[in-house]
Amino acid sequence: MSRLLGGTLERVCKAVLLLCLLHFLVAVILYFDVYAQHLAFFSRFSARGPTRALHPAASSTTNCSRPNATAPSSGLPEVPSARPGPTVPVLPPCPDLPPGLVGRLLIEFTSPMPLERVQRENPGVLLGGRYTPPDCTPAQTVAVIIPFRHREHHLRYWLHYLHPILRRQRLRYGIYVINQHGEDTFNRAKLLNVGFLEALKEDAAYDCFIFSDVDLVPMDDRNLYRCGDQPRHFAIAMDKFGFRLPYAGYFGGVSGLSKAQFLRINGFPNEYWGWGGEDDDIFNRISLTGMKISRPDIRIGRYRMIKHDRDKHNEPNPQRFTKIQNTKLTMKRDGIGSVRYQVLEVSRQPLFTNITVDIGRPPSWPPRG
């Protein structure tokens, strides 16, 4: 009995001893694991300390200037990030029928019209007579070409009335006064060719050209100064003609052609010195190319003419009727491709661009009789 009890006690002691040994081994393993973690922690701490001490500026810049920033590479400056610039608002297209038009206008030429007054009335017009609507994007860029000499009085009235009309029509436009130098016979059509070329030199974006005499003012702002699918005749009813066309093929006063249409007819003829004939030649050129002339309603196409004495150097061309009959022969050789002139001065005024040109002298006509 005692021997059995002693054997059991021995086995219990061995089991307890094994448990103690197992506990000791677990404790040793845990101890070394914790020790290793502490050792790694203090190693990182001690390694980070000298780096911060050696590069205090880099550490300070990285932590304080921008969140989540990365330190610059050694020896290379940090490239600043690109910042978006201010966005330009996209304007809607200008309406086909501008809402600010007033219709029939009261046109009179009795009160004095100094240029200073016209300038005050049009503060949005830029130097050189350029204007762009601030609230929409026009479909066309329009150059208004005026053949000119010795008509300062008329020009002031023209600018007074036309600038507000063109602005209400929501046009992007420029005004070009082509001033013929000297006192030789006037040549309207050649000056218009010069205006076409010089306007494009200033701004190649021009795609519509309005050719206007300086003494004609529209009486209705619904007569839109734009170009269409066909050449357009604007001044179809003048007070001096009793508000009627003088004849069916009349194309004088104010007309408009797109750049493509103008080049298609080879521009205007250069050899019509003196009064009359060139507008009929232009009408013939348009007809020969198969295009048709469009016109506004006769009530909208009314114009008033500023009265003046005819220029003594603008007498009728004695050969104009012969030239008109030969348009088909002269159209290809006489036009925008053959115009010769010399620009003497370009002056950008507050309300228009003045271009003074020498267009040469007319040929000597044989005596009549």
Does residue 325 belong to any structural domain of this protein?
yes
pTM for this one?
0.75
CA angle 305, 309, 311 (to 5 degrees): 110
Is residue 275 annotated as part of the catalytic site, yes or no? Answer: yes
Q: Find the catalytic residue in 215, 220, 221, 271.
A: 215
DSSP string for residues in 79-110: PPPP---PPPPPPPBPPSS-TT---B------
Rounded Cα distance, 2 and 96, in Å: 124
| Cα dihedral 139, 141, 147, 148 sign | positive
Q: Find the catalytic residue in 220, 221, 271, 278.
A: 278
Mean pLDDT of 257-279: 94
Does residue 1 belong to any structural domain of this protein?
no
pLDDT tier for residue 364 given thresholds of 50, 70 and 90:
confident
Q: Find the catalytic residue in 38, 48, 117, 308.
A: 308
Is residue 213 annotated as part of the catalytic site, yes or no? Answer: yes
pLDDT tier for residue 320 given thresholds of 50, 70 and 90:
confident
Rounded Cα distance, 232 and 238, in Å: 16
Q: Where are the alpha helices (DSSP H) in 111-211?
A: 115-121, 152-168, 188-202
Q: Which domain holds residue 183?
A: 125-356
Q: Find the catalytic residue in 151, 154, 163, 213.
A: 213
Q: Whole-number mean pLDDT of the chain?
A: 83
Is residue 297 annotated as part of the catalytic site, yes or no? Answer: no
Q: Find the catalytic residue in 150, 153, 184, 275.
A: 275
Q: Find the catalytic residue in 3, 310, 333, 368.
A: 310
Q: Find the catalytic residue in 305, 313, 348, 358.
A: 305
Q: What is the dihedral of CA 220, 224, 228, 230, to 10 degrees?
A: 20
Domains held by the chain: number: 1
Mean pLDDT of 24-44: 54
Does residue 74 belong to any structural domain of this protein?
no
CA angle 88, 94, 99 (to 5 degrees): 130
Does residue 31 belong to any structural domain of this protein?
no
User: Per-residue pLDDT for 38 more than 90?
Assistant: no
Rounded Cα distance, 14 and 21, in Å: 10
Does residue 73 belong to any structural domain of this protein?
no
Q: What percent of the chain has pLDDT over 90?
A: 63
Is residue 278 annotated as part of the catalytic site, yes or no? Answer: yes
| Cβ neighbours, 10 Å, residue 217 | 24
Does residue 328 belong to any structural domain of this protein?
yes
Q: What is the structure's pLDDT at 43?
A: 47
Does residue 363 belong to any structural domain of this protein?
no
Rounded Cα distance, 167 and 131, in Å: 8
User: Per-residue pLDDT for 261 more than 90?
Assistant: yes
Is residue 158 annotated as part of the catalytic site, yes or no? Answer: no
Q: What is the pLDDT of residues 49-91, one digit of tens each?
A: 443 333 333 333 333 333 333 334 444 444 445 566 667 678 9
Q: State residue 333 phi and psi, 5-degree precision.
A: -100, -15
Does residue 108 belong to any structural domain of this protein?
no
Q: Find the catalytic residue in 221, 279, 280, 281.
A: 279
Domain harbouring 243, CATH code: 3.90.550.10
Is residue 315 annotated as part of the catalytic site, yes or no? Answer: no
Mean pLDDT of 207-234: 97
